[in-house]
Amino acid sequence: MKSPVFETSLQSIHSISIPSDIAESFISQNHKRVVVQVKYQNKSVQFHAALQKRKELFSVMFSKKYQKQLGVFSNDYFQVQLLEDTSKYGVEMPEELEAVLQSDPEASEIFESFTAGKKRSLIYYVLGFKNSQTRIDKSLIITENIRLGIKDTRQLIKKL
């Protein structure tokens, strides 16, 4: 499933407007999470996001990082297309975390029992590191803490 390409602008400093008819076509098919493709002046970015509704207006979060990559400012209009998010977690799983979880079935089973939001939080945390070795190290800390029975996300990422 994908939307037609549409033109929009920043709705606030961290979000972009999504036309109601497009957002509702995804939500009616149970697709609250989407992949967003944004194009502006021969540059493009793609990211995962959740469709949000506030006061009858739909939007998705659009980070300053992506705005800077594209060179988008508050009064600019740009092209957007929404795609069905077919990823397992609503975000792409980093190879390092996936490998560590595969090597530890007990931690993997507990990880899978977490809420979708908690899983995404941990995935985003690992994705925040550019160095592959750091991602592995952080993944090992998370799995060790999972096996210790720690449930609090803030505690899961800390080395004991």
Structural domains of the chain ordered from first start: 6-84 (2.40.30.100), 95-156 (no CATH)
DSSP state of 2: B
Residues constituting the chain: 160
Q: State the pLDDT confidence band at 160, using cuts at 50, 70 and 90.
A: confident
Through-space distance between the first and last CA atoms of the chain, rounded to whole angstroms:
44
pTM for the whole structure:
0.81
Q: What is the mean pLDDT of residues 128-143?
A: 94
pLDDT in tens, 67-85: 999 999 988 999 999 999 9
Residue 128, CB-side half-sphere exposure with 13 Å CA sphere: 10
